[in-house]
Structure 1
Amino acid sequence: MIGGIKRVQVRAGSEADFEAAHRALAAQVKAHEPGTLSYELFRDGAPGRYVVLDCYRDGEALAAHNVSPHGAIWFPRMRAMLERIDVSYFPGHAPGDAQYTALSLTRAPWEKAFRLAADLRLLPRWATRFCQELREEGETFVVRSPQGDVRLRYEADAAARVIWHCIDAGGGELRMPMRVLPHGPGSLLLFTIQQPAGCSDAAFHEQIGWVDQEIGQLRELVEAP
């Protein structure tokens, strides 16, 4: 099971529209997502501040929610009403089932953000904890990480606005998506990591801290002149 908390600040004057959009989305979630166990919106006291509490049966259920047809309709509409969003996911206890999505809003247009995020040679400039050294070996790159050397390649799909990070530490390839989505004149960066089999909850929580830091550094990179 995976629990999520989204803390959002809605633009002034958009509160009623945001609440109506969430009701419409929640109805679709309830009707079409058996793996989503709850999807609730709460006011957080201050004007325009809300908390979304969601719970998923497993990583597959969370992934299905993120790519759902109704989400494709409602997520962009709701994001357009936001000034800020902070997202946290809390992993369950079964290794391999847990996922975490780090998120950052940036002022950079999505085309620029996507181009820089998809340049693997720039990885050492923002993923400073994961990528301690980067070298090319044939068609792939080798990253010296805290866990040792891993092979890394990107699959970038600008039409789908996703950059797949394909990582192989010797036990098979693990694919993790980074999405770069338009958000008004800027863009939204989302990077989902998965808890590998054999990775303890404590180690995964440490990785979550690294990813939160690194996506902030990616934001600084894409916003630089």
Structure 2
Amino acid sequence: MASVYRSNTLSVSIERQADQVYEYIREARNLPHWANGLCRSIRESDGEWVIETPDGPATIRFVERNRFGVLDHVVTLLSGRETLVPMRVMANGGGCEVILSVFQLPGVPDAAFADDAALVHKDLQALKSVLER
């Protein structure tokens, strides 16, 4: 039987319509404006989005555009290691909820897992701030 990884699901309420938030997040060029914990800069190269992360360059690719608000994405490091990041935007009255799950993968110490979750929390707060201006 496969192991279940420890996880932390974080969320933020945003006072903007879900479809607007979905489109903003889905536009990869916006990542440096709100996701500083992951993306310092971004550029397109050979049809891929290359981001500069705290650990060096990586690529990011989102799932196909969909009507369910799913924004799952895969971050691939130069080493080839891929990390799936589950993310979703859900309507909540006149606004929305953005949720993102972080998993503690094998070999990741508890402190690093806590740091990752803290960075995601900070990024989600930045997203809220940018979109509610």
**Do residues 216 (structure 1) and 125 (structure 2) align?**
yes
Question: What is the CA-CA distance between 1:200 and the residue it aligns to?
Answer: 1.6
TM-score, structure 1 as length reference = 0.54
Distance 1:174 1:149, change over 3 A: same
Whichever residue aligns with residue 46 of structure 2, its letter is: G
- Structure 2 counterparts to residues 1-225 of structure 1, below 5 A: 59=4, 97-169=5-77, 170-224=79-133
CA distance in 2, matches of 1:137, 1:100: 32
Distance 1:135 1:104, change over 3 A: same
Flag the structure with more relative contact order, 1 or 2, with Cα contacts below 8 A and sequence separation at least 6: 2
CA distance in 2, matches of 1:163, 1:152: 12
TM-score, structure 2 as length reference = 0.88
CA distance in 1, matches of 2:16, 2:76: 31
Aligned partners of 1:141 and 1:152 also within 8 Å: yes
3-state DSSP of counterpart to 1:162: coil
Runs of 4+ in 1 over 6 A off after TM superposition: none
Higher helix share: 1
Which sections of structure 2, spanning at least 5 residues, go unmatched? none
Whichever residue aligns with residue 173 of structure 1, its letter is: E
CA distance in 2, matches of 1:172, 1:111: 31
CA distance in 2, matches of 1:111, 1:158: 11
CA deviation string 1:135-182 (max 9, x = no partner) = 221121122211222111111443221011111112442221211000
Question: What is the CA-CA distance between 1:197 and the residue it aligns to?
Answer: 2.9
Aligned length: 130
Aligned partners of 1:99 and 1:195 also within 8 Å: yes
Aligned partners of 1:114 and 1:158 also within 8 Å: no
